[in-house]
Amino acid sequence: MPGSLPVFDTVVEQFIEWIAPRCALDIGCGSTQVGDMLARRAPGCEREAESAERVDLALIGPGIAQRAKSEGLDLLNALTYRAGWIIVLAPEFSVPGAARGIDAELPRSVWSERDFGWHDLWAWDNTRAMSLFLLRGYPPSVITIDALVERVNEGALPLLDFDGRTRVRPCRLRLVDSAREVAYRVR
């Protein structure tokens, strides 16, 4: 995803294939790279702008750090009702734009796993520079979060170094299934 590091690209591309979205929402990724991933792994998928009412998959790129935390949380809460799956890629311990002296590109928020405690069913992994969060929305899906987490962890999907080629380690998703009444929930 442009403006981001390629650390989780292999994992995101595999998610796209397994989720098999018919309609996807691209927020803050704005890239041909996301489009290329969708074309390769879900060729019939329709890409929507931020105004879509319901989608199978919402991809939120590192641009989430350009939003105030309250705006980002509002967006994620709204998407929980509208998207079957939400994938968030957020920078960690980096200051985009600062090296080039562009203050307007400085992040407005920092994201970590602690920011997702409000959600009842999600998984995550992080590296020294990026975090990946996979949230299960309320609309139905062809696959469960348990199955996605298991496939990723058993499949040893590689996380890549900044060069986009060197394998660092396998992705290790940690599932968070909050202890609350969710019997109504489609996993």
Asked if 114 and 178 touch (Cβ cutoff 8 Å), the reply is no
Band of pLDDT at residue 146, cut at 50, 70 and 90? very high
Per-residue pLDDT, averaged over 62-79, amounts to 89
* C-alpha closest to that of 25 among 88, 73, 71: 88
Determine the pLDDT at residue 99: 46
Question: Is 123's pLDDT higher than 70?
Answer: yes
Q: Which domains does the chain have, with CATH numbers?
A: 6-177 (3.40.50.150)
Determine the pLDDT at residue 178: 75
Instruction: Give the CA angle between residues 13, 83, 157 to the nearest 5°.
Output: 25
| Mean pLDDT computed over every residue of the chain | 84
Taking only the tens place, the pLDDT of each residue in 35-44 is: 788 889 999 9
Query: For the whole model, what pTM was predicted?
Result: 0.86
